Amino acid sequence: MRDWSSRPFEERNLFNPAFCAVVLAAAIREYERIAGQPMPYSLTLLVLPMCLHQASRDEILAKKRLSVLRVFALRPDLLVNFAERARALVQYATEAFALLASKDCIRVDDAGCISLVPRRVSPQPLGTDDAERCRTAAVVLGRDFAQINDRVTIYASLSIRP
């Protein structure tokens, strides 16, 4: 892991652990609300590559009433390099989870599922429209992942292996 201060300015802004933590927390919160259980860690790793990628985010938000898997089935071009993008963002998700854990915002159970500690991550609107769109897309993902409730189906539909 590279030292934070040696990273390019753009990387420090876009992949800021606090911002990534808020996006991940939005997905986890909605997943828990719908499923009534913590979100599997393996599904959390799909949130940033879908929400931070503008074309994917725009498509998810434009078709909120469709399942996210249906959205990607209709737009297979969004899956080009998705696995590589997901792998590249694991580091930033890990940093966001480290921040959330250090602030007592999450709990990890014995099965590796992640739950939010109530009232520890603010649902207040973010500073920019783009940032808020990232969080809104994460809410849609949390909802859809909870409704599908099968990690294997989700990963297979996205043509990636955990």
pLDDT at 70: 94
Q: Phi first, then psi: what are they for 114, rounded to 5°? A: -110, 130
Domain containing 95 equals: 6-157
| 81-139 confidence digits (pLDDT tens) | 999 999 999 999 999 999 999 999 999 999 999 999 988 887 777 778 888 999 999 99
| E-only strand ranges, 21-159 | 39-40, 106-108, 113-116
Asked if residue 24 has pLDDT above 90, the reply is: yes
pLDDT at 120: 84
CA dist 69 and 71 (Å) reads 5
- Answer yes or no: is 162 within a domain: no
- Answer yes or no: is 44 within a domain: yes
How much is the mean pLDDT over the chain?
90
- Answer yes or no: is 22 within a domain: yes
Number of domains composing the chain: 1
Question: Could you tell me the pTM of the whole model?
Answer: 0.91
